Structure 1
Amino acid sequence: MKSITITDVAKHAGVSKKTVSRVINQEANVRAQTRNKVQESIKLLGFKRNPLGMALARNRSFFIALLSDNPSPGYLMNLQKGILQSCTEQQMGLFVYDCSYRSQSLAKEIEELVENTLVDGLILTPPICDKIELLQMLDANNINYIKIGPKNVKSGECIGFNGTQSSYDMTNYLMELGHKDIAFILGHPDQDSSRRSEMGFRKALGEAKREINESHIVQGFYTYQSGIDAATVLLNQTPRPTAIFAANDEMAVGVLYKVQSLGLRVPDDISICGIDDISISTKVWPHITTMRQPLVTIGYQAASMLIERLKTKDSGLPAKGQDDARITDGELVIRDSTKKQPS
């Protein structure tokens, strides 16, 4: 059976092949009446576009790539879920590329990735999104990209999370429960999200005129093991903190393990909380109180912004402003790992 081509659709609808192509690619510069006529012909003829043929014709892959160097698998999984949802809706493919932020050859490595795969655009996660040499290479080669969680939200299109406010709100919640000795586990020092969370923690204590015990602020690395290590330090202190706030849920679960391994009860002896609301926070007991970061939504928006930019480029229309930043807020999710202190 003969395959239906764009030529067949154009002839059936009484329009040019270029018009059919514009409709297929969901370009805006087509009259509604014409678009409806073409879509009806596509449906009646059973036309199926050939992704390989389109890719070869345009020197494109119809794939975008997600670049990551993040120690929290739950964080990446939720981001990827949102990105895949947008890609599926827009008939795009997705590469997930694991790389090293600290690599001296990262920019060259990504340049070769783009050349070898013809990937159409990139989504950069922290801390990769702040790698100056990489950003300079991408700009020099006119490679489209979107940043998630960069230090500077005013430098290009990006999606950010209000980590300072989220940490501030969580710290205030713990103080409302009556906690006076609150410890904080920092995130990875390479990631600006750690600095923002620390700022929120310090701001809340400062506004409450609480003295900040610097020994209660311990370095973590956004990993389960670093949560255990940080908790080991904190639980050996006098006074022992009554609440431990970790900068992500992976570390909070590590804290939970360490606390319970010492025979202490959560939340009766120590309250524990985190940030992100990844699936692991409800796969342990007690379930972890957390500040929900809408990672699926963030991933979806990042992919949609990138794909929209690619469509604009294809259409030949002027590009929209390059400083479109969207900041999402957190949501306090109260579960069983936190408890009001006795008066």
Structure 2
Amino acid sequence: MRAATIIDVAKHAGVSKKTVSRVINNEANVRKETKEKVQASIAALDFKRNPLGMALAKNRSFFIALLSDNPSPGYLMNLQKGILQSCTEQHMGLFLYDCSYRSTGLVTEIEDLVENTLVDGLILAPPICDKIELLEMLDARNIKYIRIGPKDLERGESIGFNGMKSSYDMTNYLLKLNHRDIGFITGHPDQESARRSEKGFRQAFEDAGLEVNESLVVQGYYTYQSGINAANTLLNKEKRPTAIFAANDEMAVGVLYEAQSQNLRVPDDLSICGIDDISITTKVWPNITTMRHPLLSIGYQAASLLIDRLKDKKSMMPAMGPDHATIIDGELVIRDSTSKHK
């Protein structure tokens, strides 16, 4: 038995094909009685819209894409989960596209992606969100996008968390625990979040009237291995830190591994903390103290904003500046990996 078509629905309801299309797309200027008649016919014939036919008719794919270049799998997993939840609720598909921020061919690569998939809009994760040449190409082609945690807030709409405040609050927490020799592992130099977290770390020391021990500030790259490497450097100093604050949880877990490899007791000999609150922080012992960033919620809101823009043509005018940026504060989650320095 063949599937019912829009023509079958029109005949059954005694209306035109165009009227059925208006009802399906929830357009205005359809009388209530006519709408109810068409909906009854749709139910009676068990009519299902053909996604491919819709895409061809509207020159759309009903897909959005997440563009990312992030070394932290935990970060991406939570972000993707939130985006996918919104897409599922609003009957949109999701492409996951991994690309290289430093690639000289990035703009052409994304232009080809858009042309080959007819993707309707893009979510740009950091640091992709800060590639000016890419943003200029998307603006020129009128391709809608939402940026997550961008460096500046002057272009398009964006959503992110207050990384500087999160780092400030975590550092302040360690200072209140009487730690002064605090090791800090910075984030990836390509990421604006790395600069924000280091700024928050330094500001907390300044506000407390203390000086940062520069020898305890070590480069990290947001990866587990870079956390191990940085911890090895810090823990082999003549005067090792009493606490290590890593700019994300992947690195914090790497610090924990290295500390335990050196037979240090956490938190008695060394306090460890991170940022993000990804799932691995509660799958190691001791559980990691962290700043909870609602990545799932950020992903969900980013996708919802983008899909709303795609559906509502009146709101598809460029929204510019800080007034169109959503900034979410983190939340301190105290677990077993930190304690007061005696």
Q: Which moved more, 1:5-14 or 1:273-282?
A: 5-14
Unaligned stretches of 5+ residues in structure 1? none
Change (3 A) 1:110 1:211: same
Please name the residue that 2:289 is paired with.
289
Distance 1:151 1:111 in 2: 22
Amino acid at match of 2:90: Q
Distance 2:93 2:30 in 1: 26
Please name the residue that 1:332 is paired with.
332
Please name the residue that 1:80 is paired with.
80
Distance 1:105 1:211 in 2: 43
Q: Which digits, 9 at most, give the CA deviation of each residue in 1:75-106, with x for residues without a partner?
A: 11111101111111111111111111000010
**TM-aligned CA deviation for residue 54 of structure 1:** 0.5
Amino acid at match of 1:319: M
Please name the residue that 2:156 is paired with.
156
Q: Which digits, 9 at most, give the CA deviation of each residue in 1:183-225, with x for residues without a partner?
A: 1110000000000111111111111111111111111000011
Distance 2:194 2:27 in 1: 41
Please name the residue that 1:228 is paired with.
228
Instruction: Give yes or no for contact 1:153–1:160 (8 Å, CA) kept in 2.
Output: no
Please name the residue that 2:205 is paired with.
205
Instruction: Give yes or no for contact 1:27–1:311 (8 Å, CA) kept in 2.
Output: no
Please name the residue that 2:275 is paired with.
275
Distance 1:318 1:160 in 2: 21
Distance 1:29 1:197 in 2: 52
Distance 1:35 1:286 in 2: 60
Q: Kindly report which structure 2 residues correspond to 1:1-343, keeping only aligned pairs within 5 A, or say none.
A: 1-10=1-10, 17-26=17-26, 38-313=38-313, 317=314, 319=316, 322-323=319-320, 324-342=324-342
**TM-aligned CA deviation for residue 137 of structure 1:** 1.0
**TM-aligned CA deviation for residue 327 of structure 1:** 1.0
Instruction: Give yes or no for contact 2:309–2:315 (8 Å, CA) kept in 1.
Output: no
**TM-aligned CA deviation for residue 152 of structure 1:** 0.9
Give the paired residue count: 339
**TM-aligned CA deviation for residue 32 of structure 1:** 7.3
Instruction: Give yes or no for contact 2:291–2:332 (8 Å, CA) kept in 1.
Output: yes
State the SS of the aligned residue for 2:312: helix
State the SS of the aligned residue for 1:183: strand
Q: Which moved more, 1:37-46 or 1:235-244?
A: 37-46
CA-based RMSD of the aligned residues comes to 2.0
Distance 1:219 1:32 in 2: 64
Distance 2:31 2:233 in 1: 66
Change (3 A) 1:18 1:201: farther
Distance 2:72 2:33 in 1: 49
Instruction: Give yes or no for contact 2:220–2:226 (8 Å, CA) kept in 1.
Output: yes
Unaligned stretches of 5+ residues in structure 2? none
**TM-aligned CA deviation for residue 7 of structure 1:** 3.7
Distance 2:289 2:102 in 1: 33
Q: Which moved more, 1:24-33 or 1:2-11?
A: 24-33
Change (3 A) 1:58 1:207: same
Amino acid at match of 2:333: V
Percent identity, aligned pairs only, is 75
State the SS of the aligned residue for 1:260: helix
**TM-aligned CA deviation for residue 239 of structure 1:** 2.4
Amino acid at match of 1:58: K
**TM-aligned CA deviation for residue 25 of structure 1:** 3.7
TM-score (structure 2 length as normaliser): 0.93
Distance 2:33 2:214 in 1: 67
Change (3 A) 1:264 1:140: same
Change (3 A) 1:28 1:237: farther
Distance 1:23 1:295 in 2: 36
Q: Which moved more, 1:20-29 or 1:171-180?
A: 20-29
Distance 2:149 2:262 in 1: 36
Q: Which digits, 9 at most, give the CA deviation of each residue in 1:6-41, with x for residues without a partner?
A: 344455566654454344345577777766665454
Change (3 A) 1:272 1:57: same
